[in-house]
């Protein structure tokens, strides 16, 4: 598979991590995430893979044969940077690698925490860190991302484009149940319990898919009487997130709506450069990636914010049972934000490497 190994901690490391930096700024921010894990003394063994545009352009191979089965068999988690390169206009490599992992490894729960570290990062007036601590749980293997549909009479005035939105009972039920279980077993950063699950759809227009989500949500909710429930159409949810995001706790939605509202949510916490996410399958190998993309216009300029990747690494460590190491990293990032030891997008003057090194040094001294 054309791989190179690097070990963090000792030969007695208990967790094996596949690292795929990918394209663009992924190659810059993932090394900073690795530095933070190294500084925290995380007991992990890292194996780096060169999947991405460079490899695809060299040999027209997107994913080596049997790669996903090997990831699921040989690793405890996967840390990914970003995919997308203008030299590959179709982005076929990005689709086959990223969507391939999500679907072929059945990583059905996309979990994106939305946490405000400092009031200065939020564009809304009067929002404090205590006001913004919710999570969006997005169905990750169905919806419109299956690329089911087609074009008829292409290039003519009568052209027709059809894109199918696939929602199965199994897929809808397990992501809704995951959201309720997450609410029941996870607490807010400040320690208070999570109390509510909000399901968002567009069932007034998408009556068939939305109807399925509505029915399943009510059925699953009945099994969790201690958890408050709410429903909002996705357009109303977007308006409320901008108007006043206080009060949100756990939001569950479909693949496309989750993709859209988490970008909006990232804007509330300081931008895409601050947003972490995990693609999870409980008790199985899961994949973690920052929310931002490969950002070709700023790639290679040492200006990309590494904190999304660093916080993603912390999220991964927490998922793997290393809560102490994860907390060290999160605390160091918080201190960097407060002291403006950051990249320019969130008010600092440091480059990607320098911001990452500052966090690693703070982790080491904690």
Say what the pLDDT of residue 11 is. 38
CA distance readout (Å), 152 to 156, 159, 271, 280, 322: 9, 6, 39, 37, 52
> 8 and 71: one domain?
yes
Catalytic position from the list 235, 244, 340, 349? 235
**Does residue 116 sit within a domain?**
no
Residues 226, 262, single domain; the answer is yes
One domain, residues 251 and 281: no
- Whether residues 163 and 98 share a domain: the answer is no
The verdict on whether 201 is a catalytic residue reads no
- The per-residue DSSP string of 88-112 comes to STT-HHHIIIIIHHHHHTT--EEEE
User: Which residue of the set 202, 249, 328, 341 is catalytic?
Assistant: 202
In a domain, 79, yes or no: yes
Q: Does one domain contain both 30 and 101?
A: yes
Instruction: Name the domain boundary from 268, 295, 325.
Output: 268
pLDDT 10s digits, 258-276: 999 999 999 999 999 999 9
Q: Please report which confidence band the pLDDT of residue 146 belongs to, taking 50, 70 and 90 as the band edges.
A: confident
Rounded Cα–Cα distance for residues 203 and 223 (Å): 23
Question: What mean pLDDT, rounded, does the chain reach?
Answer: 94
29, part of any domain: yes
Residues found in the chain = 366
Q: Are residues 45 and 100 in the same domain?
A: yes
Q: Could you confirm whether 263 is annotated as catalytic? A: yes
| Residue 192 CB contacts under 8 Å (≥ 6 apart), including other chains | none
**Which residue, of 229, 247, 268, is where some domain finishes?**
268
The answer to whether 293 touches 91, Cβ cutoff 8 Å, is no
User: Residue 189 has what pLDDT?
Assistant: 83
User: For the chain, what is the radius of gyration of the CA atoms?
Assistant: 20
Whichever domain contains 207, its CATH number is 3.40.718.10
Quick one: 352 and 298 in the same domain? yes
235 catalytic residue (yes or no): yes
Pick the catalytic residue from 23, 76, 145, 182. 145
Indicate whether 200 belongs to any domain.
Answer: yes
Please give the residue range of the domain that contains residue 294: 1-111+272-366
Q: In Å, what is the CA distance from 239 to each residue of 39, 234, 263, 291?
A: 41, 9, 14, 21
How many domains would you assign to the chain?
2
Q: How many beta carbons lie within 10 A of that of residue 239, not counting itself?
A: 12
Do 63 and 28 share a structural domain? yes
Q: Tens digit of pLDDT for each residue in 66-111?
A: 999 999 999 999 999 999 999 999 999 999 999 999 999 999 999 9
| Residues 11 and 105 grouped into a single domain | yes
Which of 223, 239, 268 finishes a domain? 268
Give the CA distances from residue 29 to residues 99, 188, 332, in Å, rounded to whole numbers and listed in that order: 21, 27, 16
Q: Based on the fold, state whether residues 62 and 188 are members of the same structural domain.
A: no
Task: State the pLDDT at residue 12.
Answer: 44
Shared-domain flag, residues 139 and 37: no
Whether 147 is covered by a domain: the verdict is yes
Of 131, 259, 328, 341, which is the active-site residue?
A: 259
The answer to whether the predicted template modeling score (pTM) of the entire model surpasses 0.95 is no
Structural domain contains residue 340: yes
Q: Please check the confidence at residue 33 and state whether its pLDDT lies above 60.
A: yes
Q: What is the pLDDT of residue 190?
A: 80
Annotated active-site residue 147? The verdict is no
Residue 201 lies in a domain: yes
Q: Mean pLDDT throughout 1-21?
A: 62
Residue 117 belongs to some domain of the structure: no
Chain centre to alpha carbon of residue 90: 23
Position 364 pLDDT exceeds 50 = yes
259 is catalytic: yes
Question: Looking at the structure, do residues 308 and 249 belong to the same domain, yes or no?
Answer: no
Sequence-distant (≥ 6) Cβ neighbours of residue 240 within 8 angstroms: 232
């Amino acid at each position: 598979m054309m791989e190179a190994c690097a070990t963090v901690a000792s030969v007695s490391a208990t967790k094996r991590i596949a690292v795929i930096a990918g394209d663009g700024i992924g190659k810059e921010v993932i090394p900073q995430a690795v530095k933070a894990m190294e500084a925290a003394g995380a007991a992990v063994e890292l194996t780096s893979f060169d999947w991405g545009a460079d490899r695809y352009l060299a040999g027209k191979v997107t994913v080596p044969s049997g790669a996903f089965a090997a990831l699921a068999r040989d690793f405890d988690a996967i840390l990914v940077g970003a995919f997308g390169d203008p030299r590959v206009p179709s982005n076929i490599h990005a689709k086959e690698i990223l969507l391939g992992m999500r679907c072929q490894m059945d990583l059905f729960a996309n979990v994106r925490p939305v946490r405000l570290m400092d009031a200065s990062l939020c564009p809304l007036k009067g929002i404090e860190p205590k006001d913004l601590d919710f999570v969006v749980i997005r169905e990750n293997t169905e919806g419109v991302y299956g690329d089911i549909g087609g074009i008829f009479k292409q290039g003519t005035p009568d052209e027709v484009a059809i894109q199918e939105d696939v929602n199965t009972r199994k897929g809808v039920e397990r992501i809704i149940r995951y959201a309720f279980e997450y609410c029941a077993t996870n607490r807010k950063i400040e320690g208070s319990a999570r109390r509510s699950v909000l399901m968002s759809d567009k069932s007034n227009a998408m009556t068939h898919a939305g109807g399925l989500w509505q029915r399943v949500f009510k059925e699953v909710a009945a099994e969790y009487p201690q958890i408050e429930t709410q429903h909002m159409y996705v357009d109303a949810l977007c308006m409320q997130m901008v108007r006043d995001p206080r009060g949100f706790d756990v939001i569950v939605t479909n693949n496309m709506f989750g993709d859209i509202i988490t970008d909006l949510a990232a804007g509330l916490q300081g931008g895409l450069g601050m947003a972490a996410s995990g693609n999870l399958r409980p008790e199985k190998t899961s994949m973690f990636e920052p929310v931002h993309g490969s950002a070709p216009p700023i790639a290679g300029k040492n200006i990309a914010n590494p904190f999304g990747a660093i916080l993603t690494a912390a999220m991964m460590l927490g998922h793997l049972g290393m809560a102490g190491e994860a907390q060290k990293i999160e605390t160091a990032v918080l201190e960097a934000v407060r002291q403006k030891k950051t990249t320019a997008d969130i008010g600092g003057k440091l480059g990607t490497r320098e911001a990452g090194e500052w966090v690693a040094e703070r982790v080491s001294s904690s």
